[in-house]
Structure 1
Amino acid sequence: MPDSSSSFPLAPLALPDREPARFLPVLFVCTIIFTLWAIYNFVNSAPELLWAQRGWIELIIFNSLFAMLLVCYTLCVVTNPGEVRKRSCLIFREKKKLPPWEDHAQEKKRSGARRHCKWCGKFKPDRCHHCRVCKRCVLKMDHHCPWIYNCVGFRNHKYFFLLLLYATLAAHFMWITMFESVVEEEEPLGRVFLLVFGMVLSSLFGLLLTAFFAFHIWLAFKAMTTIEYCEKSTKKLGFSGVGQRIVQLRPAMLVDSLLTIARGEAVDLRVKNEAHARERARLYDEVNALKKKIIKDQQDHLAERDRMSATFNQRIEEITREFADGVAMKAEERRRSGGGATSEKLRLRVEELTFER
């Protein structure tokens, strides 16, 4: 049976051993996030809650963005980006009856054989790279991010994209709404210092995150990864699938969209698409053949009906002609036998009926 970890979208794969010291960037990011959260909630928003309804609205919006940011950041850290698992891949391929990988892989050795990782010895599908920090081959690897101490790959790329979205929105929302509190002259010096510190820090992060997020949006439209952009390899590989990539990375606010990840093994994405294309082409041909058969049957039915109608009309004409001939013969016999004027009238009547028919 396939691995049970793929049955639930949030179940992480087996993570490699990580050095505790390398979690320091994660702790630093968490410290910055919660520091800005505390400054905004307790220094900026708390005093405004007493006399302004605007403070409640800003507080709800900011904390909603912060909650989504925190969830996405946690998922980026704990979710395995995806690795080549030989057993589950073989089971998937046997179940779907797909052709071998090497028949469809675009990245191959010069000899034409499929690639293998020289570090872990596993088969390397297209867009798979070995991360020396995580010590594993990552499916559809985008890059290794030290700030989440994890690789961004097939299974957590969506969380990383959403993290950039919510972090950018939260940072800009924070410094824009704090600007009014900073310019007020009657604020205590200590509060003004914290507000200025929070506004400058959030504006700086907002600027950096905006540029980084715009870069990843551009990559999504190009259907590229960061590694492919750095290596300039898409010209020779010709990867496509912009629509599927945008759908996979859609930044929806729905919980169902947030809690779902890319399923499958990633090594089969192109093969599955080709199999689906062949299946669609087969169904299309069958539908066209069925349409042609129906049209031909209808034409044959109409031709048969016309033939039967012509045969019926011809038979009616023959019967009418035989009847008229019989009546004429009887009239002629009566005339010869001395019927006189009566026979002549009968003959005229018969000719009249024959003409009408």
Structure 2
Amino acid sequence: MAQIKLHDQRKPLELWKLIGRCTVSCISVLFSQLALSLVPRFFSASPLFIQLILSAVSCLMDIAFNGAITMLIIGLCSIMSSNPGLVTYGSSDELVESSVAEVEAHNRILEPSASVLCHECPTEGSVLGRRVRYCRICKGYIKGFDHHCPAFGNCIGQNNHVLFMVLLVGFLSTEASYVVCSSQFAAKSQIVDRTRLETSLSGNLAISTMLFSIFQLLWQAVFMTWHIYCICFNIRTDEWINWEKYPEFQDVVHSQQELDVSDG
């Protein structure tokens, strides 16, 4: 009965969520069309800028850059519509009670040292093994929940975590390729050696977009390093930030403290 009520409550939420995504998509398309209509009026040098870029950048780099853009678009559509690992439960209290009961069962059966090892390698069928977490934005329980990504409009969970990492690598490689293309264009056009007044509109556009791409590369490289660290140590972003909320991590800390006291 509780599952039926929960399912009925989620229907209007999913409907409003779908309407919101469609509205954002329509607004984005309208702004894109407006930008395309304004480009010929305010950026009369844009055709010349495109011709200069094509003449300055090598054919191999041009093919690699356009291929990366195509793969990113396909990946973005896939991750926005993918299921991150949604798990349906009767109620939130049932999930919490199940998780706490499993932790207490481990404490009663196993010694503290064995308990630590057990939490590091939990069984796949248990709540601890699936690492189900609650997302406040999606209003649902996600298996292997890492974080909710506003850029993709979806949670990053066990089912789409690999795709998320592939997209992150794709963004880094695409932006790095654009920086290389812009630097080649700037070097052949000798934009760097000119003064600010002598630089054309196409040169200013190339330099500004290259600086923006470098800024994107810096923070995304740090973001990528963080996720590699989480993968190496088998921990999620949500678990690292909110570890005090989860009883299994509290149990590991208490067991480790008991071991330290007994050894001392």
Alignment TM class, shorter chain as reference: 0.5 to 0.7
In 1: Cα distance, 2:208 partner to 2:19 partner: 30
2:183 is aligned to 179
3-state SS, counterpart of residue 227 of structure 1: helix
3-state SS, counterpart of residue 86 of structure 2: coil
Q: 2:14 aligns with which of 8, 13, 16?
A: 16
Aligned 1:94-133 pairs, distance under 5 A: 107-109=99-101, 112=104, 125-126=127-128, 127-133=131-137
Note closer, same or farther for the CA distance 1:62–1:48 as it changes in structure 2 (3 Å cut): same
Structure 1: give runs of 5+ residues left out of the alignment: 1-14, 87-104, 114-123, 239-357
Check conservation: 2:103, 2:251, Cα contact below 8 A: no
> Aligned-residue CA RMSD in angstroms?
4.0
Check conservation: 1:131, 1:138, Cα contact below 8 A: yes
Note closer, same or farther for the CA distance 1:235–1:82 as it changes in structure 2 (3 Å cut): closer
2:150 is aligned to 146
In 1: Cα distance, 2:64 partner to 2:47 partner: 15
Identity among equivalent pairs (%)? 23
In 2: Cα distance, 1:135 partner to 1:169 partner: 34
2:216 is aligned to 205
Deviation at 1:205, TM superposition (A): 0.8
Q: 1:157 aligns with which of 151, 154, 161?
A: 161
Determine which structure has the larger helix proportion and give its number: 2
Q: 1:216 aligns with which of 223, 227, 244?
A: 227
Note closer, same or farther for the CA distance 1:48–1:199 as it changes in structure 2 (3 Å cut): closer
- Residues 227-253 of structure 1 deviation map (CA, whole Å, 9 limit, x = unaligned): 112134686677xxxxxxxxxxxxxxx
Q: 1:83 aligns with which of 60, 68, 86?
A: 86
Q: Give the partner amino acid of 2:241.
A: C
Paired residues, what number?
188
Q: Using CA pairs below 8 Å that are at least 6 residues apart, which structure has the higher relative contact order? A: 2
Rg (Cα) greater in structure: 1
In 1: Cα distance, 2:236 partner to 2:213 partner: 28
- Residues 11-44 of structure 1 deviation map (CA, whole Å, 9 limit, x = unaligned): xxxx93416556759959x97xx99xx9xx9776
In 1: Cα distance, 2:251 partner to 2:68 partner: 38
In 2: Cα distance, 1:62 partner to 1:175 partner: 11
Aligned 1:250-329 pairs, distance under 5 A: none
In 2: Cα distance, 1:27 partner to 1:194 partner: 22
TM, length-normalised to structure 1: 0.44
3-state SS, counterpart of residue 155 of structure 2: strand
> Are 1:229 and 2:240 an aligned pair?
yes
